[in-house]
Amino acid sequence: MRKLKLDELGRLSTEEFKNIDKNNFVIVLDNVRSMMNVGSAFRTCDAFNAEKIYLTGITGTPPHREIQKTALGATETVAWEYVENITHLIEKLKNENYEILAVEQTDNSIFLHQFEPNPFQKYAFFFGNEVEGVSMEVIKEAKNCLEIPQFGTKHSLNVSVSVGIVIWDYLSKM
């Protein structure tokens, strides 16, 4: 067994990637304060061929040195948009027939492994601030809240880790 070299991976060029059909989901970073978490989310969205990433509130935007450090060029491949007002973004996404899903621990959240996506539905997954989580404006408008089961002493995961887990789970079910 040997590790593959980069030229053996068969990766698409930036232009080829921009022109292929995307998976039917977007992610929204709701007031994410760490630029490295933002960059990591971009890189994950590139890996899983996300349709788009929305950045809201205090979430930093490219170009930024710390975002670029973890994104490794994914800010050039993943479509993104900054929207200051999250309520306007939710309205826009609902009008475009996205189902709003907050990734948050609530009294009525659905454990991620119990979530059964519809292959014909578009989804907008909202991820929140590292301390405060997803804002109440989002939770009030979300169709459901998804919760990643955890078994240790901590009550949360890093937001960039959560993005990867949720997207992988979603795509593996599709």
- Would you list the domain boundaries of the chain? 21-173
17: left (phi over 0), alpha (psi -120 to 50) or beta: alpha
Binning pLDDT at 50, 70 and 90, where does residue 155 land? confident
Distance CA 49, CA 43 (A): 10
- 58: its two tokens: 């205090």
**pLDDT tens by residue, 59-117:** 999 999 999 999 999 999 999 999 999 999 999 999 999 999 999 999 999 999 999 99
Phi, psi of 30 (to 5 degrees): -95, 100
CATH architecture of the domain covering 21-173: 3-Layer(aba) Sandwich (3.40)
The dihedrals phi and psi of 9, each to the nearest 5 degrees, come to -80, -15
Q: What is the pLDDT of residue 12?
A: 87
What value does the mean pLDDT take over residues 167-171?
Answer: 98
Burial classification of residue 41, based on how many CB atoms lie within 10 Å of its CB (0-12 exposed, 13-18 middle, 19 or more buried): buried
172 pLDDT above the threshold of 90: yes
pLDDT for 10 beyond 90: no
Please identify which residue in the block is written with the tokens 């609902």. Answer: 94
